[in-house]
Amino acid sequence: MTFGSWLALVVAIVLSAEVVRWLRHRALRHERWRRFFRHPTAAWGCGILTFLIIVAIAAPLVAPLDPIVQPDPVRLKNHAPSLTFLMGTDVFSRDVWSRFAYGARVSLGIGALGALIAVSLGSCVGAVAGYYRRWVDAILMRGVDIGLALPRIFIVLMAVALWDRLSFAWLTLVIGLTSWFATSRLVRAEVLALRERDFVVAARALGVPSSRVIFGHVLPNAAAPIIVSAALSVGNVLLLEASLSFLGIGVAPPRPSWGNMIADGAVTIYTAPWTTLFAGLAISLVVMSLNAVADGLRDALDPRQDPA
């Protein structure tokens, strides 16, 4: 660790603490957002996520070394964590902390992008099915049934194995395209209820085009469950990417992702457990934070809890 990277790390920690404090301060003004922070876990979740996002964005600053360079595979491999190597070195003598920071980019990136694809697609399909009902609904939902009937990891494994190694973009796309089924069901249920509400009926009666009704009136009112499911999706996509990388068919080496850090470290887990340990902890913390935030959002966005 160089002085600069220590400094950047401290700044990242302070910054994320400040962000949480600022959020909490703002939240005091709104009943809904006060509910979000009712559980301390939500605040912690926000803090951890903010910290890791800062680390991901500022990876070149917080990481002292290039994550793929192998400085000296003979003498520097499998070093235990120390002040020089914050999280130790791996079997290739690469700095685990640097890989961790750059891995955050890849893992969080796939998580966010994959979830974005999944949630947008799921929302659109769900809204269309719920809004048009009848045969459109029937066809789309049977499709969703089929998608749900085949375990996701299975489809992705097949896609990856059949077309050899997928590039980063394709991997994200395949994960996103196979993760939207549950969201679409959820949104459909919401839309089915919403389309009978007065403002939707009124808009339709006024002859507003269907697409405007769906995207202008229906979906914004179904935002709450969509946001919650988006938060959960990020975690799920992250876990899926990690599983694939662990099986050796996710993100291609030498580019670090938390999943392939676990896979690289699994070989030396008995002699140098730190590689596996920190990457695994990071995934758990992110998923946990996302779950906590989703819990908070659910409370905050629950209309039943709004004061009458």
Partner 1 sequence: MTAWLLRRLAASVAIIFAVVTFVFILIHLAPGDPCIVGTGEGVPDPAVCRSLIRQFALDQPVLVQYWRYLVELAHGNLGYSFALHRPVWDALVDTMPFTLQLAGAALLIDFGLGLALGIYQAWRLNRLPDVVLGNVTLFVYSLPTFWLGLILLLLFGEKLRLFPVGGASDPVLCPLVDSFYCLADRIWHMVLPAVTLGLVGAAGTARFQRAAMLEVAQQDFVRTARAKGLPERRVVLHHQLRNALLSVITRFGLTLPFLLTGAVLVETIFAWPGMGRLTVDAILRRDYAIVTAAALIASSLVVAGSLIADLLLGFADPRIRVHEDAVVDIVTA
Partner 2 sequence: MLSAMPRRYELLPVVLAVVALGGCERRQLCNAPDCGTLVDAAIGEPGTLLPASTEEITARDVEEQLFLKLADVGMSMNTIGDEDFQPLLAQKWEWDGPLTLVFHIDPRARWHDGQPVTAVDVAFTYDAYSDSTVASPYRAQLKRLASVTARDSLTAVFRFRERYPEMFYDAVYHMRVLPAHLLRSVPREQWKTAAFGRQPVGDGPYRFVSWQAGQAIELRSDTTFFLGRPGIRRLIWRFTPDLGVAVTQLVADQVDVREQLVTPTMIDRVRTAPQVKLYPFAGNTYTCLAFNLRANGDTSKANPIFGDRELRRALTMAVDRASLVKSTLGDIGKVPPGPMSSLLWIWDPEIRQLPYDTAQAARILNARGWRDHDGDGVRDRDGQPLAFRILVPSTSVLRRQYAQLLQEQYRVIGVHVEIDALDPGALQQRISSGRFDSAILSRSNDPSPSSGITQTWTRGGIGGSNYTRYSSPEFDRLVDRAIAAASRDQARQLWRAAMETINADAPAIFLYSLDNVAGIHRRVADVQIRPDSWAALLRTWRIPPDQQIDRDRVER
CB of 194 to partner 1, least distance (A): 13
Report the DSSP beta bridge partners of residue 89: 95
**Closer Cβ to partner 1, 65 or 156, answer by number:** 156
Among partner 2, partner 1, none, residue 171 binds (CB under 5-8 Å by kind)? none
> Which entry of partner 1, partner 2, none binds 293, CB below 5 to 8 A by partner kind?
none
Instruction: Report what 97 binds from partner 1, partner 2, none; CB cut-off 5-8 Å by kind.
Output: none
Tell me if 34 sits within 8 A of 97, measured CB to CB: no
Among residues 29, 74, 162, 205, the one that binds partner 2 under rule CB under 8 A: 74
In the set 23, 57, 61, 91, which binds partner 2 (CB under 8 A)? 91
Q: Binders of partner 2: how many residues, by CB under 8 A? A: 22
Structure tokens, 168? 């980063």
Residue 271 binding target from partner 2, partner 1, none, CB below 5 to 8 Å by type? partner 2
Q: Which does 220 bind (CB under 5 to 8 A by kind): partner 2, partner 1, none?
A: none
User: Of these, 5, 107, 172, 229, which contacts partner 1 (CB under 8 A)?
Assistant: 229
- Choose the stretch contacting partner 1; rule: CB under 8 A; options: 65-73, 93-101, 204-212, 285-293: 285-293
* Least spacing, CB of residue 304 vs partner 1, in Å: 9
DSSP notation for the chain: --HHHHHHHHHHHHHHHHHHHHHHHHHTT-HHHHHHTTSHHHHHHHHHHHHHHHHHHTHHHH-SS-TT--S-TTTSTTPPP-SSSTT-B-TT--BHHHHHHHHHHHHHHHHHHHHHHHHHHHHHHHHHHHHH-HHHHHHHHHHHHHHHHS-HHHHHHHHHHHTSSPPHHHHHHHHHHTS-HHHHHHHHHHHHHHTTSHHHHHHHHTT--HHHIIIIIIHHHTHHHHHHHHHHHHHHHHHHHHHHHHTT-SSPTTS--HHHHHHHHHTTTTT-THHHHHHHHHHHHHHHHHHHHHHHHHHHH-GGGS--
- In residues, how long is the chain? 308
Nearer to partner 2, 91 or 224 (CB): 91
Q: Which stretch binds partner 1 (CB under 8 A): 8-16, 57-65, 105-113, 231-239?
A: 231-239
Among 60, 151, 209, 248, binds partner 2 (CB under 8 A): 248
Using CB under 8 A as the criterion, which residues of the chain lie in contact with partner 2 when the complex forms?
68-70, 73-74, 77, 91-93, 164-165, 248-249, 252-254, 266-271
Binding site for partner 1 (CB under 8 A): 41, 142, 145-146, 148-154, 157-159, 161-163, 179, 182-183, 185-186, 189, 225, 228-229, 232-233, 235-236, 239, 242-243, 246-247, 249, 262, 266, 269-270, 273, 276-277, 280, 283-288, 290-292, 298
